[in-house]
Structure 1
Amino acid sequence: MEGRCKDGERRMWMGKSGRDIWKREGVTAADCGAEVRRHSAWMSVVLSFAGDPLLPQDSRSNRKGKASRTAAEMPEKNLCQKLREYPPAVFFMLGNELCERFSFYGMRAILTLYLKFEHHFSNSTATLIYHLFSCIAYFTPLIGSLLADCWLGRFKVILFGSIIYVFGHALLSGGAVPFLSTGVRSMFDFSGLLVIALATGAIKPCVSAFAADQFREDQADLRAQFFSFFYFAINTGSLFAIFLTPILRGRVQCMGSKYCFPLAFGVPGVLMLIALLIFLAAVKLYKKPPPSKDNIGRQVASCVYTGASRSICGKNKKPVDHWLDRAAPEHSSQLIEECKRFLAVVLIFSPLPFFWALYDQQGSTWILQAQRLNGRLGFFTMLPDQVNALNPLLILIFVPIFEGLIYPAARKVVKVTPLRKISVGLLLAALSFAMAGILQLEVNKTMEPSPAEGRVFIQKVGNAPVSGFSSDTFGQINGGALSSEKTELDAGMYSADVNGNKVPINLTDPNAGYVVGFFENANGSGDVKQFKYRNEKTENGATRIHVLVPEEDGGRIFACNNDGELDDHNSDAVADLKTGNYIDILPGMFSNPNFKLYWGNNCTGSGCPNHVDIQSQMGAIFSLYVHNKTTADDLTMLVRPNTVSIAWVFPQLIVITAAEILFSITGLEFAYSQSGPEMKSILQARFI
């Protein structure tokens, strides 16, 4: 009797399976008495979490009463054999999840830069909106889980949520159309983001639980394995999304804009529509567990309130094994046990917000950091918002490595438990951000300095000697010739003495940069031309070249690759040959860094008579002094390029990806296996 009681007691954390053991053995709870009851759900969950390996709820018992074979007697099935035993419906769910994650991560990968480039928000404001969107998307799963578990069921929540999801993508794509008014675009964009956040939150906790519902009770081992495939599908979708959408954004131009955000947002919207169609294709194959007719959320809240109030304020505080036991007799013993398990798992998952708060920085601050890195890796160019594609790629590589090599090797040294996996994952997440901070210190050293408040930078170019540079208001300054180096001056109106003539110079825009060209003509007369430039690194990985032309004759200038081919997809690769105009060099994904600048009248590209070689340098801005004998020496660097390689981001991405595998996959399966049938979506929502 004692052994059978301990066997049932040991499995109490699995709920019904422990009671099944007593029933088969002819033992009742009354027989075992206080020996079993003294163990609260909290202690049983923690003991199983920290010590015993996770075993699914139904794997230790035979519901049909047949004798089970030991693990040693059962022949090990290979992967193909296991896949053939999967319910067909789960493969549709994998396809649905892959497309849905493509739509979500593809949209989110470019969101920060969209807010910055199209709505002209500052870095801090764009980051704030990005994280506000993420916050709503991670809060609404609680609402979706309650709808699924209490009223509509998981199938209907996924169906209705997906339809709303597609509508949200349509709004966001419409708001990205550049020729709409600012007010209309803002209305479409922010309503679209809100709709997407609500829709993804509604279906997010339901998809994995609904897919797991398709397995039979005796397929708990396959169900546990399925969560790895499910996570694999998530990251396959996000990998392609994060790789493709930045290309559609940054290397395709449409509707008169240098970016094609309508296409970059539209493709994820189409993928969400495909996800909905895949889900509907298997509607006759699904098992659809009905929702609880009772409001499980209200019941849990009532049970916790009753137990807590009687424990804190109650006059009759009889000794109980757990404070929730005081919620009886108003609440059933089954509900009280479910609440114990629920609160225990919620307590274990309390570090979740800290992990995801760090993890989501990959889509905001890490992308902004990557904007100031050199994305050229040999002949390959990586855009800032493509950096996050490494995360799902590494997950696809790391999952089999962890399952096949790291975990087995670790088990030879230490007992590998879910609690230890999650703890190590949290430590690795913290380490990745320490690495990101160190990298940012190096990036800060390469940032372009700004002039002091109320002052400007001025860069002198040209061929004329300058006898002096004076202020109309404050008299002569600088004592003589203006230095050829970048000089900092007070913002204001100045006059330049060129061969005895005073020429006005407008330097009134504070914190800006100016290029002033002094030219001596063949007849000995002088001339001055100037233009203003942004004293910041370029966006989108471009190399910008401003032109300074003493004698404008209606020609044009072209940026061509090393073979003399013009980039037809880059409208900024061509400009009129006028002082202050610029062209941008946008290297392709696979391209040579060496380019040629061609210019002349009535010519196109390499057909022009004049050219100079230049090497593309991400973030840099140059000035090109155009005259009859222009050479590479007439290129003047105005803004320094990004010199820290984007490859230095890889170590921190590797570390945080390892943290995600240890933390997220372990917690996803644990949240499902530890919850009762009526609370699976709620615990999934609490985890994600």
Structure 2
Amino acid sequence: MEDERSLLQKLRAYPPSVFFMLGNEFCERFSFYGMKTILFIYLITEHEFAPSTATFIYHAFACIAYFTPLIGSILADSIFGRFKVILYGSIIYVVGHILLSIGAVPFFSYGFRSSMDFSGLFVIAFATGCIKPCVSAFAADQFEEHQKDLRSQFFSFFYFAINAGSLFAILITPILRGRVQCFGNPHCFPLAFGVPGVLMALALVLFLMGWAMYKKYPPSKENVIAKVSEVIYTSVRKMIRGSDKPVNHWLDHAAPEHSQKMIDSVRALLNVAVIFCPLIFFWALFDQQGSTWVLQARRLDGRVGHFSILPEQIHAINPICVLILVPVFEAWVYPALRKITKVTPLRKMAVGGLLTAFSFSIAGGLQLIVNETMEYPPTFGQVYIQRIGNESLIHDFNGTKDGNIPTGRSEIEAGFYQFNTGLANETKTVNFSIPNKGYVMAAFRLEKETKVVSFDYKVEKTDNGATRVFVVSPNDIPTHKVYVVNSRGDVISECPLTSGSHVDIIPGIISDPNVKLHWGPGCNSTSCISSLPNINLNAQMGAVHVLHIHPTTTEKDLDLLVRPNSVSILWSLPQYIIITLGEVLLSVTGLEFAYSQAAPNMKSVLTAMWLLTVFAGNLVAMLISGTRLIPNPALEFFFYSILMCIVMAVFILLAMQYTYVEEHDEDEDDDDSIRINEKKSIEMSEQISANNNA
């Protein structure tokens, strides 16, 4: 019997062309998520956008990517067919990656880089949106009508390819971005964007390799979206004109210009659309895993033992949990719940929405804790002064006897300051004129005069998991160096022994945070370096230190300028796991419900509507997070949580009023004359397309 065949026997019965599509989908999803995963960090570090601006651009990109599927579906159904849309879209896709990779090269001017970056982002968003509704359906077209079971099973592999591609992308591209250095930059964005571009080129090659094997159905030349619009337009026009014809539903005004079957199909579609409306806010929350949640993760301690986790990598929990939870729910959770209560799609979606709201409450609570560890800039017009050296060397700061500044951090008004050093008639001037800055000030008594050193630093935590150490010394010797030596004895960073220079200690994927700082004459061997004076340092992520080097330097001469990230990144796991639970219950179930309620000729329109909810959700995130409507990130997370609870209350009220309809017969005659195999391909494939929003 058909269902008694082994998995290997079933795989051998697959059309050979679908294996090219599996490889194509893996590479394309790696390409898309690899680029998207590091996009937010790129906008902040390379373009130096404010977090709110970066959030706005990130969600604007997502908006375009989920609006253009409308264009792709129309081009595939009415003009070119799926094969040509995938082919042309993939070529455009590769061009977008090339533009983005060129824009990431730091040697070019900022204007040129910006034009390359934003052109590349637009091209990628357009291309991925155009091919999104076509790839899975085109793969389904390759099966014969008698291979229904194989086609159904194939989409399990297809869904696995989607999540595997995104998982590897989320794990690998942040490493290329943050743990590989190139062009003299601690970040290697050209490589991090280039590798997804190569994967997209490989996706195109794999697609072309199956050219001779593909079944290429011609476009149907029918635009169902246009027909739906015509039915609605006709009904509204007649209502405005005051039609006296009694009808059971306002859409019935569209008769006799449109068939009753088409009117009934549109009615069923609009009923589902009403249910879809609250789901817009689910996507407004869900897609912030790549923006505001990454922003939060940047201020968490990514060290877990000797491993270091980059902010973007924590998002890998999502595809991992999806791959685990979907079979667990289907095999055990849902059957167990059905013994207790009736499990319906709308009930699952309501619980999923509430879990999503709960995940943002957890994120808000975590942000409150993170806020306590943050470094905040000085009051407007003021500066921070980190005082180093012998306090007796500074007298009458700015001419006032009570104006002495103590060692450690002080906050004073920005400006130029003079002070007496204690030596006869000796005065010094220091420049602290840039407000909202932090300054290091050190004074050293030499043989005949006092040496004063001052330099500014950013009053914020370091990025990329780095620890920064500034150097202050009474005797600047450019030929001498400061070395950072790890536990294996390797030099991982160095800088000249001159006041104001600094070294950045960037942890490896696996590394010991305990390092040694050596200083002295330039050395070319580890034995030479190991003989130099040194102190121990526990390199904590985000911290900034200043080291006072003198003949008897000890760990006590290492002052803290910026506190480290002290909240472990593992504390963000609960919010990621819970929002993934919400996704499994809401997103995966959403189309299961919709397809059973919509008429067969409305499947493609329904997919377009589903993708539009993602578009609208990102638009909401742009308007709230992208404009800093709520400046405090913790309050913003709580706001989203409360908003989602209110929206789900509305959803539950709508669900209580909803009447389920019998699933439409796929084999009945259809006035729109859509082929049976095409309809079923769309039905199953677009479920997968919606799921790859994860």
State the TM-score, normalizing by the size of structure 2: 0.83
- What secondary structure, in the 3-state scheme, does the structure 2 residue paired with 1:446 have? coil
What letter matches 2:238 in structure 1?
Answer: R
Is 1:294 the counterpart of 2:232? The answer is no
What letter matches 1:255 in structure 2?
Answer: F
Among 573, 576, 580, the residue aligned to 1:657:
580
1:6-405 to 2 correspondences below 5 Å:
83=11, 86-217=14-145, 219-220=147-148, 223-311=151-239, 313-320=241-248, 322-405=249-332
Question: Is 1:621–1:638's contact at 8 Å kept on the other side of the alignment?
Answer: yes
Question: Is 1:149–1:296's contact at 8 Å kept on the other side of the alignment?
Answer: no
Question: Is 2:545–2:560's contact at 8 Å kept on the other side of the alignment?
Answer: yes
The equivalent of 1:27 in structure 2 is none
The equivalent of 1:519 in structure 2 is 444
Alpha carbons of 1:584 and 1:605: their partners in 2 closer, same or farther (altered >3 Å)? farther
Worse-matched range after superposition: 384-393 or 588-597: 384-393
Q: CA deviation at 1:279?
A: 1.9
The equivalent of 1:603 in structure 2 is 523
Is 1:498 the counterpart of 2:421? The answer is yes
Question: Is 1:459–1:486's contact at 8 Å kept on the other side of the alignment?
Answer: yes
Q: CA deviation at 1:74?
A: 9.3
What letter matches 2:518 in structure 1?
Answer: Y
Matched residues in 2 for 1:172 and 1:93: separation?
Answer: 25
Alpha carbons of 1:383 and 1:118: their partners in 2 closer, same or farther (altered >3 Å)? same
The equivalent of 1:614 in structure 2 is 537
The equivalent of 1:12 in structure 2 is none
Which whole-Å deviations, capped at 9, do the CAs of 1:223-257 have from their partners, x for residues lacking one? 45544433322111111111111111111111222
Matched residues in 2 for 1:75 and 1:543: separation?
Answer: 59
Is 1:530 the counterpart of 2:454? The answer is yes
Q: CA deviation at 1:83?
A: 4.7
Which whole-Å deviations, capped at 9, do the CAs of 1:374-399 have from their partners, x for residues lacking one? 11011110011212122112222222
What letter matches 1:577 in structure 2?
Answer: L
1:565-644 to 2 correspondences below 5 Å:
565-567=490-492, 573-604=493-524, 606=526, 607-608=528-529, 609-644=532-567
What letter matches 1:587 in structure 2?
Answer: P
What letter matches 1:597 in structure 2?
Answer: L
Question: Is 1:558–1:605's contact at 8 Å kept on the other side of the alignment?
Answer: no
Matched residues in 1 for 2:339 and 2:13: separation?
Answer: 31
Matched residues in 2 for 1:347 and 1:187: separation?
Answer: 40
Matched residues in 2 for 1:212 and 1:610: separation?
Answer: 68
Is 1:544 the counterpart of 2:468? The answer is yes
Question: Is 1:228–1:665's contact at 8 Å kept on the other side of the alignment?
Answer: no
Matched residues in 2 for 1:420 and 1:85: separation?
Answer: 38
- What secondary structure, in the 3-state scheme, does the structure 1 residue paired with 2:243 have? coil
Matched residues in 1 for 2:327 and 2:396: separation?
Answer: 69
Q: CA deviation at 1:545?
A: 0.1
Matched residues in 2 for 1:364 and 1:258: separation?
Answer: 21
Rg (Cα) greater in structure: 1
Alpha carbons of 1:156 and 1:352: their partners in 2 closer, same or farther (altered >3 Å)? farther
State the TM-score, normalizing by the size of structure 1: 0.83
- What secondary structure, in the 3-state scheme, does the structure 1 residue paired with 2:301 have? coil
What letter matches 1:253 in structure 2?
Answer: Q
Matched residues in 1 for 2:382 and 2:34: separation?
Answer: 42
- What secondary structure, in the 3-state scheme, does the structure 1 residue paired with 2:211 have? coil
Q: CA deviation at 1:213?
A: 3.4
Matched residues in 1 for 2:576 and 2:556: separation?
Answer: 40
Question: Is 1:599–1:610's contact at 8 Å kept on the other side of the alignment?
Answer: yes
Q: CA deviation at 1:197?
A: 0.8
Question: Is 2:102–2:116's contact at 8 Å kept on the other side of the alignment?
Answer: yes
Question: Is 1:672–1:684's contact at 8 Å kept on the other side of the alignment?
Answer: no
The equivalent of 1:37 in structure 2 is none
The equivalent of 2:383 in structure 1 is 456
- What secondary structure, in the 3-state scheme, does the structure 1 residue paired with 2:411 have? strand
Alignment root-mean-square deviation, CA: 2.3
Matched residues in 2 for 1:586 and 1:487: separation?
Answer: 29
Question: Is 1:470–1:494's contact at 8 Å kept on the other side of the alignment?
Answer: yes
Worse-matched range after superposition: 422-431 or 618-627: 422-431
The equivalent of 2:657 in structure 1 is none
Matched residues in 1 for 2:13 and 2:250: separation?
Answer: 44
Is 1:667 the counterpart of 2:611? The answer is no
Structure with higher helix content: 2
Question: Is 1:342–1:675's contact at 8 Å kept on the other side of the alignment?
Answer: yes
Matched residues in 2 for 1:538 and 1:286: separation?
Answer: 52
Q: CA deviation at 1:288?
A: 3.4
- What secondary structure, in the 3-state scheme, does the structure 2 residue paired with 1:592 have? coil
Matched residues in 2 for 1:358 and 1:423: separation?
Answer: 15
Among 439, 451, 454, the residue aligned to 2:366:
439
Q: CA deviation at 1:345?
A: 2.9
Q: Tell me which of the two structures has the higher relative contact order, counting C-alpha pairs closer than 8 angstroms and 6 or more residues apart.
A: 2
The equivalent of 1:44 in structure 2 is none
Which whole-Å deviations, capped at 9, do the CAs of 1:364-416 have from their partners, x for residues lacking one? 11111111111101111001121212211222222222222222222222232
Question: Is 1:90–1:214's contact at 8 Å kept on the other side of the alignment?
Answer: yes
Give me the identity figure in percent. 56
- What secondary structure, in the 3-state scheme, does the structure 1 residue paired with 2:503 have? strand
Q: CA deviation at 1:663?
A: 2.1
Matched residues in 2 for 1:358 and 1:137: separation?
Answer: 17
Q: CA deviation at 1:184?
A: 1.1
Alpha carbons of 1:219 and 1:528: their partners in 2 closer, same or farther (altered >3 Å)? same
Q: CA deviation at 1:457?
A: 0.9
The equivalent of 1:419 in structure 2 is 346
Alpha carbons of 1:288 and 1:407: their partners in 2 closer, same or farther (altered >3 Å)? farther
Matched residues in 1 for 2:102 and 2:509: separation?
Answer: 28
Q: CA deviation at 1:463?
A: 3.7
Matched residues in 1 for 2:252 and 2:147: separation?
Answer: 33
Q: CA deviation at 1:346?
A: 2.6
Alpha carbons of 1:196 and 1:675: their partners in 2 closer, same or farther (altered >3 Å)? farther
Matched residues in 1 for 2:153 and 2:356: separation?
Answer: 25
Question: Is 1:209–1:681's contact at 8 Å kept on the other side of the alignment?
Answer: no
- What secondary structure, in the 3-state scheme, does the structure 1 residue paired with 2:566 have? coil
- What secondary structure, in the 3-state scheme, does the structure 2 residue paired with 1:642 have? coil
The equivalent of 2:568 in structure 1 is 645
Report the number of matched residues: 605
Worse-matched range after superposition: 489-498 or 267-276: 489-498
Which whole-Å deviations, capped at 9, do the CAs of 1:1-43 have from their partners, x for residues lacking one? xxxxxxxxxxxxxxxxxxxxxxxxxxxxxxxxxxxxxxxxxxx
Which whole-Å deviations, capped at 9, do the CAs of 1:436-476 have from their partners, x for residues lacking one? 111111111111132111111111112462352421xxx31
Alpha carbons of 1:151 and 1:164: their partners in 2 closer, same or farther (altered >3 Å)? same
Question: Structure 2: which 5+ residue stretches go unaligned?
Answer: 612-694
Which whole-Å deviations, capped at 9, do the CAs of 1:38-84 have from their partners, x for residues lacking one? xxxxxxxxxxxxxxxxxxxxxxxxxxxxxxxxxxx997776556555
Question: Structure 1: which 5+ residue stretches go unaligned?
Answer: 1-72, 568-572
The equivalent of 2:488 in structure 1 is 563
What letter matches 1:420 in structure 2?
Answer: R
Question: Is 2:247–2:253's contact at 8 Å kept on the other side of the alignment?
Answer: no
What letter matches 1:410 in structure 2?
Answer: L
Alpha carbons of 1:479 and 1:352: their partners in 2 closer, same or farther (altered >3 Å)? closer
Question: Is 2:85–2:134's contact at 8 Å kept on the other side of the alignment?
Answer: yes
- What secondary structure, in the 3-state scheme, does the structure 1 residue paired with 2:484 have? strand
Q: CA deviation at 1:86?
A: 4.5
Q: CA deviation at 1:101?
A: 0.9
Question: Is 1:560–1:605's contact at 8 Å kept on the other side of the alignment?
Answer: no
